[in-house]
Amino acid sequence: MKILSTVQTKEPKDASPVTKGINSAILKELDFADQEDFWDAHRGLIAALPGGFVNSTNEELAWDLNAYGFLGVSPDLPEGKNEPPATVNPSLWRMARLNMAAGLFKVVDRVYQVRGLDVSNMTIIEGEKGVIVIDPLTSVETARAAFGLYKEHRGDRPVVAMIYTHSHLDHWAGVKGVLDPADVQAGRVDILAPEGFLEAAISENVTAGTAMSRRSHYWYGIALPRGERGQVDAGLGKAISMGSVTLIPPTDNIYKTGERRLIDGVEMVFHMVPDTEAPTEMMIFFPQFKVFNSAELACHTLHNVLTLRGAQVRDAHKWSQYLNEAIEIYGNQIETLIAQHHWPVWGHDRCIEFLKDQRDMYKYIHDQTLRLANHGYVMGEIGPMLQPPPSLARRWYLRGYYGSCNHDSKAVYQKYIGWYDMNPANLNPLPPVESAQKYVEYMGGPEKVLTKAREDFSKGEYRWVAQVVNQVVFADPENNEARELQADTLEQLGYQAEASTWRNNYLTAAHELRHGVPRLPTAASADVLTSLTLPMIFDYMGIRLNGPKADGKTLLLNWNFTDVNAKYVLTLENCALTYVAGKQAPDADATITLTRAGFDAITLGQTTIEDEIQAGRITILGETLSIAKFFSLLDVFTGDFNIVTP
């Protein structure tokens, strides 16, 4: 059931007395007098982003720092004077202000970063004749503005190489804002990436892309208004930019730790860290600058062992192990530490302490989760139980602005033990709607549930109220009183959350309960789709295949791609799609001869298979109707499915 808007639009509410008390207490628990991070975040500033915004190609805003003026931070007064409002956890408010440091920064001689023009950083290394660009942000528009800011103040130097540190969108999707694909195709610019980059990038942005994109709106608070009662930060940066997504596949893969490259006089030593923050990732040491780039394994926040937006579960043990390796291999040489989010750390001792603390935090979460699991505690119990030791909890850079001990421990449990807690009552429970209807019936009906829930709301028992009112919402999503009470409850939990990701989840859910589900774009970008290999395309077709509709149907199709000299046999049998490369079946129902470029045009909706056949660009031998039959079995995914309602 899709409910777009059944609740009268209402504005966010104020913090309750309970929330005010919780947030006020945090001001006394943490050392807010410590201003070192504010000065580090602004150190080396050469120039801020002119105007504070970046337009997209359709003149909408791809990036807007001005929307965060309520934070009261300026480069002239790094630490600011603005007191946190009651509707924001003071620790998160502090990070939100730190992430306002934006512009072109000098790290050390020949090493520069553009920070605060996207959720991620662009790092620029000056070589003998040109520059090496590391991670070109999320969108063309912000990448172009970032690199333009560098060129304006450091000169128009050619790009001699691009590096993608890992497979997440915010570290490669702005590539065409910096590089001309013709220069890459001509061999004038190499793009380096860790082994398996393309497969991992496609997995997140196509294979499970629609689901992850929808969940990311909760994760980043994309639809929320910027403000004290809305989105204030994204933990790793202010927000994710909203411009054009592009991709140029790598031309050079890095395979192992210790692999070196000398590019334009710049020596780089790569350290492979797969299955940690991303399925494929690498850190980089620059010996001549004594700079270590930790990519995204060591930032100024506790990270995610599993993101709430969804991803492959990460390995906290390996995460700790790789940081330990880096300390052992490069530790006595490191003088400056940079990452692809946040600001640098300067000074040998501070860098090593930073890396050791990060190492110990992920090891602690890993080991203590398994210790408790071996005592018989289950995922839902371990999360709230696990608190960092005081020696680590006091470190600002290990506070849970992006990840949290609570959900990171659940990820460790999931990796080793899985979703099932071994209680048979949870083995095959009723689906959410049926379960909710039974719960509400057993509790005496929605009116009685809501009466008790309001009493508990007034006591500040928001976690329980969210659980119980969710049953009423799922039993009857048109119950406006339940939707409004659930929105009020989630809102208070959001106001209390230190993690930007938790806050954004809670407040986005409250926003959708009040305003309905927004219309959201779902299609992957043209660059991403056309970068898929043919096996990836056929695998994605298998995901799109509607199994129940395919029941009892069989098809054998030959595909012949003339421009890339590739042949495939695609089989539909037992409601599953399989394929074999490099051959054609003599007894196929049909043989489709076309170009890869033409197939891409059909995939992108620029043409139809019928139009291509009529134009003579596709030829079919055999049963023509079998092609229409095949495509009729493929689902089209939309990214506006319900989350907080059934």
pTM of the model: 0.94
Position 337 in a domain: yes
Q: What is the CATH number of the domain that holds 626?
A: 3.30.1050.10
550 vs 573: CA distance, rounded Å: 9
Number of structural domains the chain divides into: 3
Task: Give the pLDDT band (50/70/90) at residue 2.
Answer: very low
| 3-state DSSP assignment of residue 124 | strand
The pLDDT value recorded for residue 396 is: 97
Three-state secondary structure of 155-210:
CCCCEEEEECCECCHHHCCCHHHCCCHHHHHCCCCEEEEECCHHHHHHHHHHHCHH
Position 466 in a domain: yes
Q: Are residues 286 and 365 in the same domain?
A: yes
DSSP state of 524: P
Q: Are residues 109 and 236 in the same domain?
A: yes
Tokens of 70: 């309520």
Position 281 in a domain: yes
Position 422 in a domain: no
Exposure string of 562-581, with b = 16+ CB inside 10 Å and e = fewer, is: eeeeebbbbbbeeeebebee
Q: Are residues 346 and 489 in the same domain?
A: no
**What are the start-end ranges of the H helices in 459-584?**
462-475, 480-496, 500-515, 526-530, 534-544, 547-550
pLDDT at 51 exceeding the cut of 50: yes
Q: Are residues 46 and 193 in the same domain?
A: yes
CA 531, 534, 538: angle at the middle one, nearest 5?
Answer: 115
Contact in structure between 300 and 400 (CB atoms under 8 Å): no
End residue of a domain, out of 350, 385, 413: 413
Q: Are residues 400 and 476 in the same domain?
A: no
105 vs 107: CA distance, rounded Å: 6
Position 197 in a domain: yes
Report how far Cα 250 is from the mean position of its chain's Cα atoms. 21
Q: Are residues 180 and 292 in the same domain?
A: yes
Position 401 in a domain: yes
Q: Are residues 134 and 278 in the same domain?
A: yes
Q: Are residues 40 and 167 in the same domain?
A: yes
| 3-state DSSP assignment of residue 626 | helix
Position 310 in a domain: yes
The residues with which 621 forms a beta bridge, in sequence order, are 591
End residue of a domain, out of 496, 513, 545: 496
The pLDDT value recorded for residue 81 is: 56
Tokens of 595: 């170009």
Q: What is the CATH number of the domain that holds 451?
A: 1.25.40.880
Q: Are residues 594 and 620 in the same domain?
A: yes
Phi then psi for residue 455, to 5 deg, are: -65, -45
| pLDDT tens profile 185-241 | 999 999 999 999 999 998 788 888 888 888 989 999 999 999 999 999 999 999 999
Q: Are residues 258 and 138 in the same domain?
A: yes
pLDDT at 5 exceeding the cut of 50: no
Residue found by looking up tokens 């990820």 in the block: 411
Tokens of 20: 């005010």
Contact in structure between 290 and 334 (CB atoms under 8 Å): yes
| pLDDT tens profile 465-490 | 999 999 999 999 999 999 999 999 99
Phi then psi for residue 451, to 5 deg, are: -60, -50
Q: Are residues 312 and 178 in the same domain?
A: yes
Q: What is the CATH number of the domain that holds 103?
A: 3.60.15.30
Q: Which domain holds residue 385?
A: 33-413
End residue of a domain, out of 387, 413, 439: 413
| pLDDT tens profile 534-566 | 999 999 999 999 999 999 999 999 999 999 999
398 vs 402: CA distance, rounded Å: 10
Amino acid letter at 71?
L
Tokens of 456: 């508990």
| pLDDT tens profile 500-517 | 999 999 999 999 999 999
The mean predicted confidence, pLDDT, of the chain is 93
Position 644 in a domain: no
Paired sense of beta strands 190-194 and 159-163, if any: parallel
Q: Are residues 466 and 539 in the same domain?
A: no
